[in-house]
């Protein structure tokens, strides 16, 4: 199921969500401007999160990479999928917690995602990049806040594609189940399999746990 949009209006302009999308796009454009593979590899070596750099000899640079890795992407598809999910679900979560607290919430979910990924593959030297761990936290928060919101999804049915509305809880639990099952399938794969499924799981759970603490007082869960 591919989400297209949700029928869930907001009361305020999602300034932080917009800034996050723009920041990620600008960083990716800079990645493209590096040109040669050697310069790109050097850039990722400096700003991507490498689990072994945190588990063997932690340095200030390695700690910094927990944050900088959230704004790096490996290709157009990686960027577009992440930003699309953030755009669809981030505005309502930001509206429910407030602009400043949404920044803190987003970063904490990203930190939790990175921590779970590092624990799952402490000996991996594969760079971890992407905003998907932090965005998974946004999805977890949305599940608690708006489980019954209608989401228009593109649903593949054999050789046909069909647009249907589903409750948000169906889409988000399905997404989480896919990440969890995918994570289990690569538990014994060297270097963690190359996709940070456990970061998605960690970020999602962090979002579930944190949103009751971050939401505005008058905002109810399970709307």
- Using one digit for the tens of pLDDT, what is the confidence trace for 8-42? 999 999 999 999 999 999 999 999 999 888 888 88
User: Using CA atoms, how far apart are residues 36 and 158, in angstroms rounded to an integer?
Assistant: 42
pLDDT-derived band at 193, boundaries 50, 70, 90: low
Is pLDDT above 80 for 189? no
Is pLDDT above 80 for 159? no
Contact 167, 147 (CB under 8 A): yes
Contact 112, 137 (CB under 8 A): yes
Contact 69, 128 (CB under 8 A): yes
pLDDT-derived band at 59, boundaries 50, 70, 90: confident
Is pLDDT above 70 for 213? yes
Please spell the DSSP secondary structure of 177-223, one letter per residue.
HHHHHHHHHTTTSGGGGGS-HHHHHHHHHHHHHHHHHHS-TTPPS--
- In this prediction, residues 177-204 reach a mean pLDDT of 79
Nearest partner of 197 among 132, 106, 107, judged by Cα: 132
pTM for the predicted model, two decimal places = 0.91
Question: Tell me, what's the pLDDT at 78?
Answer: 92
Question: Tell me, what's the pLDDT at 145?
Answer: 97
Question: Tell me, what's the pLDDT at 187?
Answer: 60
For residue 132, CA distances in Å to 58, 82, 150, 182 come to: 23, 6, 22, 15
2-214: CATH, from 1.20.1540.10, 1.10.3210.10, 1.20.120.420, 3.30.390.50:
1.20.1540.10
User: Using CA atoms, how far apart are residues 78 and 122, in angstroms rounded to an integer?
Assistant: 24
- In this prediction, residues 77-90 reach a mean pLDDT of 96
Cα angle 71, 113, 155; round to 5: 80
Question: Tell me, what's the pLDDT at 192?
Answer: 53
Tokens linked to 103: 């920044």
Tokens linked to 94: 């930001």
Nearest partner of 23 among 68, 75, 63, judged by Cα: 68
Is pLDDT above 70 for 191? no
pLDDT-derived band at 219, boundaries 50, 70, 90: very high
Q: What is the mean pLDDT of the chain?
A: 91
- Residues 6 or more apart from 118 whose CB is under 8 A from it? 49, 51, 54, 55
User: Using CA atoms, how far apart are residues 5 and 166, in angstroms rounded to an integer?
Assistant: 11
């Amino acid at each position: 199921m591919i989400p297209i949009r949700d029928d869930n209006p907001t009361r305020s302009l999602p300034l932080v969500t917009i800034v996050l999308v723009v920041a990620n796009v600008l960083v990716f454009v800079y990645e493209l401007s590096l040109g040669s593979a050697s310069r790109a590899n050097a850039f990722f070596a400096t700003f991507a999160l490498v689990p072994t750099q945190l588990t063997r000899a932690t340095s200030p640079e390695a700690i910094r990479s927990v944050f900088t890795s959230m704004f790096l992407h490996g290709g157009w598809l990686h960027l577009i999928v992440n930003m699309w999910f953030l755009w669809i679900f981030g505005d309502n979560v930001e509206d429910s917690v407030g602009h400043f607290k949404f920044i803190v919430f987003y970063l904490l979910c990203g930190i939790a995602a990175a921590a779970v990924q590092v624990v799952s593959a402490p000996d991996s030297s594969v760079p971890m990049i992407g905003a998907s761990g932090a965005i998974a936290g946004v999805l977890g928060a949305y599940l608690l806040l708006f489980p019954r919101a209608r989401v228009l999804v593109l649903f593949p049915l054999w050789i046909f594609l069909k647009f249907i509305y589903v409750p948000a809880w169906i889409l988000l639990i399905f997404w989480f189940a896919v990440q969890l099952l995918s994570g289990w399938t690569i538990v014994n794969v060297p270097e963690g399999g190359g996709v940070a499924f456990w970061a998605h799981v960690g970020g999602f759970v962090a979002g579930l746990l944190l949103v009751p603490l971050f939401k505005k007082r008058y905002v109810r869960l399970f709307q």
